[in-house]
Structure 1
Amino acid sequence: MLPKVNQFLFLQVASSDEEEAAVEYKSRIADENDNELLIEIPVLEGTGRYKRLFLGDELSAYYLSSDGVKHYFNSHVLGLKEDVVRLVRIQKPDPESITKVQRRHFLRVGSELEIAIKLSAHVRFVGITDDVGGGGISFLCDGKWPIKSGTELECWLLVPYRNGSIEHAQFKAEVVRVKKMETGRNQVMAKYASITDGERQKIIRYCFERQLDVRKR
């Protein structure tokens, strides 16, 4: 069952700041088309504070059915539309992806990008990502490096865009899990521990472009 025009949506927005990521905003569906929901600018109830959304922002949303059951889905921002009031265009969920159980995984895309890592003042090396997203990354590196759960890494990710430009996204990441591969390499899964909104937007823009490319195949 898809959400309908005039229904309220309750949203959380992916952020490297755990407190901000936990904040719930309220919006209303103002219009829809085949692929999009057009929603009002989300607001924090009780304060009247609006949440500014950007292209590629990842959303965890739910709405209430007539019998009061919460229906969850994940989405992302496609852009803005200037109407009588400014509306936010978000991806309409696939009906099969809507669930009664919240799943806080945000958009991640499989991609082999070069990542430079500083482990300590004297230890630096290069790895290759196997997926990247707005909330964290996973990469492969030589198994000789002393990385374990909880290790903090200083990272520089090479981010190429469809128009041929290249950016470097800088951030600090905390290792969540390390998996030893049969090849002797390690697969390192990490979440962003410290990243500015600007640097995170570089990564989300890449994920958004990558997802569009995959859909066109």
Structure 2
Amino acid sequence: MSKKVMPTPFWQGQSFEIQTEDKKIFYTQFAGEKNGELYIQRPQDKKNMYMNILRGVPVVVFFFDIEEEGLFTFKTNIYILPDGIAYLEKPDPEQIEKAQRRRFFRVKIGVPMTLELPDQKTSSNTIELFTHNISGGGVAFLHPKKITETGDKVSGILQLKTPNFQSDVRFDAKVISIVKTEHDVFRIALEFLKMKEPERADIIKFCMFKQVELRNKLKNDRM
């Protein structure tokens, strides 16, 4: 891997992907920096389960760098405070490297989605909703009712749109987790099945655009 000497500063809301020593993947967002520590939201896996954090556990972090337009990585340790706030040790610039392998980067964003459920679940098996997060590997959404079961096969359409790009991506997926949140709504996670690479590429491109859009918005708000 080639070294990146001067990384772009991390920014609030930036998506991080965390890999543990046993290759488990968790997703989070950067929340702020203080005293050389990178504070993050409590990491969750693709089944919406929280990461069990032991003090000073080694992890590998992946993030998308907007200026360099590429995926980068660094090794660090993760910690959790008694109040449940998680943070990472900040890496030195020379510790950040360009990642060579492809990853499905997850972004928290509401995207219009049409979802077709198994016939027996509702009187109408087609519903319109918004995603809770999206990546090249799957999506999650929130719903006040448990409208499906883990293992169910569903299909749908994601409506991706930017000022210079629009794509209606059809997909087949499997329900991989259903979690009732503290707000008494269900967070349902889907994993794409046999998605064609052009459709997956559209989703990845959309996710990267939304990261750039969020960073630019935050920058303009501070001006």
Q: Secondary structure at the match of 1:215?
A: helix
Which of 57, 66, 70 pairs up with 1:90? Answer: 70
Identity fraction in percent: 19
Task: Decide whether the 8 Å contact of 1:143 with 1:180 is kept in 2.
Answer: no
Deviations 1:28-87 (Å, cap 9, x if unpaired)?
x2x645248xxxxxxxxxxxxxxxxxxxxx9x8x9xxxxxxx98342458799xxxxxxx
Aligned amino acid, residue 117 of structure 1 = L
What is residue 175 of structure 1 aligned with on the other side? 175
Letter in 1 for 2:62: N
Letter of the structure 2 residue corresponding to residue 140 of structure 1 = L
Q: 1:108 aligns with which of 82, 106, 109?
A: 106
Bigger-Rg structure (1/2): 1
Could you tell me how far apart the structure 1 residues matched to 2:131 and 2:144 are? 13
SS at structure 2 position matched to 1:168: strand
Cα separation, 1, equivalents of 2:73 and 2:146: 43
Cα distance between partner residues in 2 of 1:135 and 1:160? 19
State which of 97, 117, 125 in structure 1 corresponds to 2:127: 125
Q: Which amino acid aligns with 1:175?
A: V
- Using the alignment, how far apart are the partners of 1:127 and 1:71 within structure 2? 35
- Structure 2 match to 1:158: 159
What's the secondary structure of 2:167's corresponding residue?
strand
Provide Cα deviations, 1:160-205, integer angstroms capped at 9, x if missing partner: 1132x42111111111111235776432111112211111111111
Letter of the structure 1 residue corresponding to residue 114 of structure 2: A
1:68-79 → structure 2 map (5 Å cutoff): 72-76=60-64
Q: Does the CA-based 8 Å contact 1:131-1:137 persist in structure 2?
A: yes
Q: Quick check: 1:34 aligned with 2:32?
A: no
TM-score, normalization by structure 1: 0.54
Change (3 A) 1:168 1:117: same
Output the aligned Cα RMSD: 3.8
CA distance in 2, matches of 1:128, 1:78: 26
Aligned amino acid, residue 154 of structure 1: S
Q: Number of matched residues?
A: 145
Structure-1 residue corresponding to 2:150: 149
Are the equivalent residues in 1 in contact too, given 2:60–2:73 (CA < 8 A)?
no
Scaled by the length of structure 2, the TM-score of the pair is 0.52
**Contact 2:136-2:203 within 8 A present in 1 as well:** yes
Alignment of structure 1 residues 14-33 onto 2, 5 Å: 29=2, 32=4
Flag the 1:179–1:105 CA change in 2: closer, same or farther, 3 A. Answer: farther
Q: What is the one-letter code of the residue matched to 2:115?
A: I
Aligned pair in 2 of structure 1 residues 32, 148: CA closer, same or farther (>3 Å)?
same
Q: Distance in 2 between matches of 1:79 and 1:196?
A: 29
Is there any run of 5+ residues in structure 2 with no aligned partner, and where? 9-16, 22-57, 76-89, 97-101, 219-223
Q: Distance in 2 between matches of 1:140 and 1:193?
A: 20
User: What runs of 5+ residues in structure 1 fail to find an aligned partner?
Assistant: 1-8, 10-28, 37-57, 63-69, 81-88
**Which one is further off, 178-187 or 108-117?**
178-187
- CA deviation after TM superposition for structure 1 residue 138, in Å: 0.6
User: Higher strand proportion, which one?
Assistant: 1
